[in-house]
Chains A and B, each alone.
Chain A
Amino acid sequence: MTTAPQRGTSAWRRVLPPVIVLILIGAIWDAVVHLGHVQDYIFPSIENVVRSLFDNWSPILESATWVTSQEMLYGFAISIALAVVLALAVHSSATLRGAVYPLLIGSQTVPIVVIGPILAIIFGYGISPKLIIVAISCFFPIVVNLVDGLGSVDPDLIKVMRTLDGSRLATLFRVEVPSALPSFFSGLRIAAVYAPIGAVFGEYAGSQNGLGYVLIQATPQLNTDLVFAAVFLLSVMSIILFVLISFLEKICCPWAGKGKK
């Protein structure tokens, strides 16, 4: 394997800078906490956050992470399905575009903090209100990017398809959908960052488990190290989702970014 060492160095180059930045931030963090004699409940040291993470893992955090990641993933999946259907509808008909697009934008201006409790009243403390909130927070960037991608195909390419006996459906599936894939994945990556926020808001509105539930319990108890541990887990989940999507994109669109001027 002649390419192995090369790949190794490029992976290191990608991982090393953020790790250095993280260590630097951590060092400043700990220096401030220790030198300033900051109380643990106001701002815990990294050491205490890590300890809290391990101490609380099996009693609290493990099941909470599991619950929240389920909400995130299922909500994300629902938002993708919804976004694809909406984007295809908006793309295929100017009338539908005019009818649906303002509503899509409107749906984003309604504050989730307000919807959350209402959904909790309607659907109770189960998983469904969380799925709805995650889906609402995630689907918008996916729809917008997918619609843009579907519509930004070179008009000459559409003309070529017409002279090559391509029907509208053939043009959609052989030209527009594949060329929209890179922007679709861009939308997914943005949505991946919104997913944990949606899940936490959903849990804030009413829940019996999950990282948002842990946050809402631990904050008033001044259990600040547990709060930080839960936030850390949320970030990790979001990063994993993000990396997973980037990885999928590399597999699905090996041509992307190559040969383009």
Chain B
Amino acid sequence: MTSTAGSSVPEPEAGIRLTDVGRTFGATVAVAAVSLTVPLHGRLSIIGPSGCGKSTLLNVISGLDDPDAGTVDVLGATTANDRLRRCAWMPQRDLLLPWRDVLGNAALALENQGMRRKAARSQVAGLVERFGLGGFERKLPHQLSGGMRQRVSFLRTLVAGKEVLLLDEPFGALDSITRADLQFWLRSAIVTEPRTTVLVTHDVEEALLLGDEVVVMSARPGRVAARYPTDLPAGASRRELLRLPEFTELRDELLARLEEAS
């Protein structure tokens, strides 16, 4: 088993390690020579101009795709199938199954893992309240608001019980009020239940709020242009954070970097 091999190596802090990763689609070089590490339970935000290969990078980490060059190591897993078993992936669109109600959608991973439908539903029923979905257990996706659908999608992703969480612009499709609300909610959710997280976004504030480190990528071919640790107080509210001088300084710096990169 790869996990036992990984634990024998004395590097417990390595969650995700990318070494010289490159991925090419036809004549287009999506990412080139990207090296990154995310410590165990660390939260990395990746920002960059559109088309800088952010999503490609997530696909490569998740095991949905394999790099053409370099190696990817996710908690000791190096093959695509082993990585898939460790990674949960959440895209921008909620992609709920329209014929399944909230509980049914949330329980999908448990059913896939072989649990009976009833048992899976009752297991996720205990989590619904914490995700702000209490009372909506039996509603179908088309009966929910965009923000609620995204919560269901997030619940579905977490229920899979993966060690690694890969978020591809998870709030990109939402209006700004709902997005701010969910960003802060996600921040507290990840802080209370830490997992190794990689978030891809082009929203600088989101990157700062959710990551403990931010990587700026350059335009195609995607490369790591700069990395910044974010050291923000964990207990602060969103408005307090947005007013902190460290926060605004970092945000301006990142915006400047982003302009250079594109």
Contact = CB atoms under 8 A, between A and B. Distances in A.
B109 A178 contact: no
A161 interface: yes
A247 interface: no
B160 A164 contact: yes
B79 interface: no
B166 to A, nearest CB: 8
B169 to A, nearest CB: 12
Contacts of A160: 89, 91, 95
Central interface residue in B87, B108, B113, by most chain A CB within 10 Å: B108
A160 B92 CA distance: 11
B91 A156 contact: yes
B88 A163 contact: yes
B111 interface: yes
Contacts of B156: 164
Contacts of B162: 163
Interface string A129-170: 000000000000000000000000010110111111111001
B64 A159 contact: yes
A163 B99 contact: no
Contacts of A161: 108, 112
Interface in A111-134: none
Interface stretch (A42-50, A233-241, A253-261): A253-261
A259 B98 contact: yes
Contacts of A178: 97, 99
* Interface size band for A: 20 to 34
Given A159-B64, A258-B142, A259-B142, A167 B95 contact: no
A175 interface: yes
B112 A166 contact: yes
A34 interface: no
B160 A175 contact: no
B95 A154 contact: yes
B84 A163 contact: yes
B97 A175 contact: yes
A170 B112 contact: yes
Interface string B94-125: 01011100000000110111000000000000
Contacts of B218: none
Contacts of A259: 98, 141-142
B96 to A, nearest CB: 9
A162 B84 CA distance: 7
A250 interface: no
A157 B89 contact: no
A157 B95 contact: yes
B148 to A, nearest CB: 12
28 contacts: A156-B95, A157-B97, A159-B89, A160-B91, A160-B95, A162-B84, A163-B62, A163-B63, A163-B64, A163-B88, A163-B160, A164-B88, A164-B112, A164-B157, A165-B112, A166-B112, A170-B111, A174-B97, A174-B108, A175-B97, A179-B98, A253-B99, A255-B98, A255-B141, A258-B142, A259-B98, A259-B142, A260-B98
Given A175-B97, A178-B97, A258-B98, 8 more contacts: A156-B91, A160-B89, A165-B160, A166-B108, A167-B112, A174-B111, A258-B140, A259-B141
Which 8 pairs across A and B sit closest by C-beta, in order of nearness?
Answer: A259-B142, A164-B109, A163-B89, A255-B98, A258-B142, A166-B112, A165-B112, A255-B99
